[in-house]
Amino acid sequence: MKTTTILKAASILALLATGAEAQIKVSLDSPPDLEGSGSYVWAHTFASYLNDHGMAAEEYQRGALGGDDEVFDQVTQGLVEVGMSPLGIVGSIDTLIYGLRLPYFFNGMGDVDRALYDHGMLERINAALTPSGVRVLAVDTVGPATGIFNTRHAVTQMSDMSDLRMRALDESQIELYRAWGSNGTIVSWAEVPNALQTGVADGYLNPAFVPLLFGHTEFIHYFTPAEISPSLRIAIASEDWYSGLSDDDRATVDAAVTAANTANRDWLGTQTGVLDQLRAAGVEISDLSPEARAEFRTASEGTWSAIVTPEQLAQWQAAIAE
Q: What SS3 state is found at 239?
A: helix
107 shares its domain with 183:
no
Q: b/e for 188-211, b at 16 or more Cβ within 10 A?
A: eeeebeebbeeeebbbbbbbbbbb
Q: What is the spatial distance between Cα 227 and Cα 202, in angstroms, rounded to a whole number? A: 19
Which residues pair with residue 25 across a beta bridge? 58
Task: Outline where the chain has alpha helix (H).
Answer: 3-18, 38-52, 68-76, 109-113, 121-129, 171-179, 192-198, 210-214, 239-243, 247-268, 274-280, 290-301, 304-307, 310-321
What is this structure's pTM? 0.85
Half-sphere exposure of 108 (CA within 13 A, CB side): 4
Kind of pairing between the strands at 165-168 and 183-186: parallel
Residue 198 lies in a domain: yes
Contact by Cβ (8 Å): 279, 285 = yes
Domain CATH for 246: 3.40.190.170
Residue 7 lies in a domain: no
237 shares its domain with 306:
no
Termini Cα distance of the chain:
52
Contact by Cβ (8 Å): 201, 166 = yes
Residue 2 lies in a domain: no
- Give every residue of the chain whose pLDDT is below 50, as ranges: 1-11, 14, 17-20
Provide the domain limits for residue 301: 147-229+273-321
The DSSP letter of residue 146 is: P
Q: What pLDDT is attached to residue 21? A: 53
193 shares its domain with 203:
yes
Q: What is the spatial distance between Cα 298 and Cα 321, in angstroms, rounded to a whole number? A: 19
72 shares its domain with 137:
yes
98 shares its domain with 112:
yes
Contact by Cβ (8 Å): 27, 82 = yes
199 shares its domain with 286:
yes
211 shares its domain with 242:
no
Q: What is the spatial distance between Cα 226 and Cα 104, in angstroms, rounded to a whole number? A: 10
Residue 53 lies in a domain: yes
Residue 170 lies in a domain: yes
Q: What pLDDT is attached to residue 169? A: 87
Q: Which residues contact 217 (CB under 8 A, 6 or more apart)?
A: 211, 278, 281, 282, 283
219 shares its domain with 252:
no
Q: What pLDDT is attached to residue 7? A: 37
Q: What pLDDT is attached to residue 39? A: 96
18 shares its domain with 88:
yes
246 shares its domain with 279:
no
